[in-house]
């Protein structure tokens, strides 16, 4: 029962209790005790400790059968998965063995009950062909014919034939075979339920011999009247002995059937049968679940317990299976005795006789309500996701349209504002040239200031245009940071006395080139432009953070006081008079916007008089 190594004595009674999870022990004992007291079916999920001290989840379902129990345990159980019909482990009380074959008639699964019947353990049979294991020479032709019918017709079969045990003993077994069909409708294997009916077969044979002998003795008694009393007494004694043996066999068979029924109940399934025409005579498990009487369930009466919305579809599927003599596979809701409905997966197959006719239909209804509830929840989440995706797509389309309009507006504004500014600058230059002989030094200074304001306004317009376009996505390519820095330094042309050091570990990454150039250009340009000396020094370095690179531009200039660290990243913010450096106050705002749009961050480390270090991260 547990994956922990318990010996046989420890498993007796409640010996396995020490393997239970401490939080589950009392709950399991109470559930079992209540089932014993009320003589009713139960199910519970608990955890058992494995040899490595970890815990595995088990689903246990059980039903009391007279003085014994039939219990089914499913390891690694999940509430989100339906319980597979052919993947369970029955306890030794049930006589049914479960064997699974692949299409080559080789063993795939061999449970403990199969080992008890045939003597082989699973490691001795997995992968071996049935003919080399358990089929007698006299049964081989019959078994091959049955196997062909299963694979070709996809129908379940029942048969009785001789088999061999590991010790070479010949036994008689009853087989229920069912093809395994995947979601594409293809047969992928066969599952067999098998039980040893040797004793029952011998009892039936013995009864036949007894009847023949009894008939012979009756005939002899007519001819030999003088021995009537003696023969009568002997016949009576033999008849009583034979009847007792027959009753014992019937009782053993009845116990086997009771255990089988209890196993079906323990696995939360409804087993049903019909005649060859699909007419129901009786369905005890169905009646127990739905509360219908035997009269109400006959023929098509069982359909009254199916949800009204599912009846037409169910009727069509059942008629189709009857007409084509093929697998019946559907889903519908069944009304329980309390009036509630639960979803069941329903499968049925025809039982084919040796002459190819249908003897009966057998099937099972498996509760799948939890699976349907989960599917409905997933469907709802999928609908929500589809709605959000559509909304996001619509928003992105609108945003792209607004960006196009903004680009157009920025272009028109830039052109319309810069044209008169250039005219003012040119006009001032012409005026100065025309009246240069009468201009005073003060007037010349004022004309220079005028042209400086014009150039600053033009730079401001260019900065606003850059700010509006920052963050726009462009095509990515392989970018060598060392090459980008070399081009920027060449274009800035710092004084020869100025030192700029670039660390040798600059990476190559796949990114948008233009935004990265703008960030480096603004930061390096600021470090040079605002340095108080012509022999200043700027160091450019890089650090690998794993998912991103962190670049740093450090100078030995006059630094920035901590109270201004946030202010400098605002638009139109400067720390010096605009006339002194012709600043627009937009550069660092552009840098911050670009870095954040790339998923990175920018920061400053500086104190007044000790230089400044700007660091920004850039995703790989």
- DSSP letters along 258-324, please? HHHHHHHHHTTEEEEEEETTS-BS--HHHHHHH---HHHHTBTGGGGGB-GGGHHHHHHHHHHHHHH
Please enumerate in sequence order all residues whose Cβ is within 8 A of that of 316, keeping only pairs 6 or more positions apart, or say none.
Answer: none
- Summarised one tens digit per residue, pLDDT across range 416-472 is 777 788 888 888 888 888 888 888 888 888 888 888 778 767 776 776 666 666 656
Average pLDDT of span 220-226: 59
For tokens 């009204």, what's the residue? 308
Given a contact cutoff of 8 angstroms between Cβ atoms, the answer to whether 173 and 197 are in contact is: yes
Among 397-401, 511-515, 566-570, which range has the highest average pLDDT?
511-515
- Predicted TM-score (pTM) of this structure: 0.35
The whole-number pLDDT of residue 26 equals 85
Please enumerate in sequence order all residues whose Cβ is within 8 A of that of 117, keeping only pairs 6 or more positions apart, or say none.
Answer: 97, 165, 171, 173, 194, 195, 196
The whole-number pLDDT of residue 97 equals 86
- Summarised one tens digit per residue, pLDDT across range 372-410 is 999 999 999 999 999 999 999 999 888 888 877 777 777
d(CA 159, CA 153): 16
Strand 499-502 and strand 537-544: pairing? parallel
394's enclosing H/E stretch is: helix 369-434
- Summarised one tens digit per residue, pLDDT across range 150-160 is 888 656 678 89
d(CA 154, CA 189): 11
Instruction: Tell me phi and psi for residue 312, to 5 degrees.
Output: -60, -45
Average pLDDT of every residue of the chain: 81
- Summarised one tens digit per residue, pLDDT across range 142-199 is 999 999 888 886 566 788 999 999 999 999 999 888 788 776 778 888 888 899 999 8
């Amino acid at each position: 029962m547990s994956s922990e190594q318990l010996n046989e004595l420890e498993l007796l009674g409640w010996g396995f209790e020490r393997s239970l999870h401490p939080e589950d022990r009392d709950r399991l004992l109470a559930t079992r005790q209540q089932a014993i007291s009320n003589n009713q079916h139960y199910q519970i999920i608990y955890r058992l400790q494995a040899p490595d001290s970890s815990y595995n989840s088990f689903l246990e379902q059980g039903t009391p059968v007279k003085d014994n129990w039939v219990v089914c345990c499913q390891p690694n159980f999940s509430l989100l998965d339906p319980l597979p019909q052919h993947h369970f482990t029955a306890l030794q009380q049930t006589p049914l063995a479960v064997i699974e074959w692949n299409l080559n008639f080789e063993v795939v699964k061999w449970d403990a009950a199969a080992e008890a019947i045939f003597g082989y353990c699973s490691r001795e049979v997995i992968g071996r062909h049935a003919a080399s294991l358990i089929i007698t020479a006299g049964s081989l032709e019959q078994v091959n014919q049955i196997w062909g019918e299963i694979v070709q017709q996809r129908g379940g079969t029942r048969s009785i034939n001789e088999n061999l045990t590991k010790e070479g003993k010949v036994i008689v077994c009853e087989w229920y075979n069912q093809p395994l069909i995947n979601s594409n409708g293809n047969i992928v294997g066969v599952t067999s339920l098998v039980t040893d009916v040797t004793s029952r077969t011998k009892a039936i044979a013995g009864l036949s011999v007894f009847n023949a002998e009894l008939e012979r003795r009756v005939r002899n008694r007519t001819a030999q009247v003088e021995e009537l009393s003696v023969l009568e007494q002997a016949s009576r004694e033999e008849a009583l002995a034979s009847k007792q043996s027959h009753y014992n066999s019937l009782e053993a068979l009845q116990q086997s059937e009771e255990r089988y029924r209890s196993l079906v109940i323990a696995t939360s399934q409804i087993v049903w049968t019909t005649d060859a025409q699909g007419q129901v005579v009786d369905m005890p498990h169905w009646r127990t679940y739905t509360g219908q009487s035997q009269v109400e369930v006959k023929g098509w009466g069982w359909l009254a317990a199916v949800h009204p919305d599912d009846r037409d579809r169910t009727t069509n599927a059942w008629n189709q299976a009857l007409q084509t003599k093929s697998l019946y596979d559907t889903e519908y809701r069944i009304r329980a005795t309390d009036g509630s409905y639960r979803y069941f997966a329903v499968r049925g197959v025809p039982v084919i006789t040796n002459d190819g006719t249908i003897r009966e239909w057998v099937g099972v209804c498996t509760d799948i309500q939890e699976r349907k509830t989960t599917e409905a929840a997933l469907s709802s989440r999928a609908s929500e996701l589809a709605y959000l995706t559509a909304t996001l797509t619509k928003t992105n389309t609108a945003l792209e349209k607004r960006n196009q309009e903004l680009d157009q507006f920025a272009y028109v504004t830039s052109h319309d504002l810069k044209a008169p500014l250039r005219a003012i600058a040119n006009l001032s230059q012409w005026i100065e040239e025309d009246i240069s002989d009468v201009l005073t030094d003060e007037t010349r200074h004022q004309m220079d200031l005028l042209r400086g304001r014009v150039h600053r306004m033009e730079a401001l317009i260019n900065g606003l245009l850059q700010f509006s376009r920052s963050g726009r996505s462009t095509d990515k390519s392989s970018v060598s940071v060392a090459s980008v820095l070399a081009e920027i330094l060449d274009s800035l042309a710092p004084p020869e006395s100025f030192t700029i050091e670039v660390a040798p570990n600059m990476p190559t990454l796949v990114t948008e080139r233009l935004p990265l150039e703008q960030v480096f250009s603004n930061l390096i340009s600021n470090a040079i432009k605002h340095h108080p000396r012509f022999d200043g020094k700027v160091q450019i370095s890089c650090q690998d953070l794993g998912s991103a690179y962190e670049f740093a531009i450090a100078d030995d200039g006059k630094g920035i006081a901590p109270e201004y660290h946030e202010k400098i990243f605002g638009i139109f913010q400067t720390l010096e008079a605009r006339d002194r450096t012709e600043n627009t106050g937009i550069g660092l705002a552009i840098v911050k916007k670009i870095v954040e749009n790339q998923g990175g961050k920018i920061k400053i480390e500086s104190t007044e008089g000790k230089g400044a270090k700007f660091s920004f991260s850039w995703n790989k």
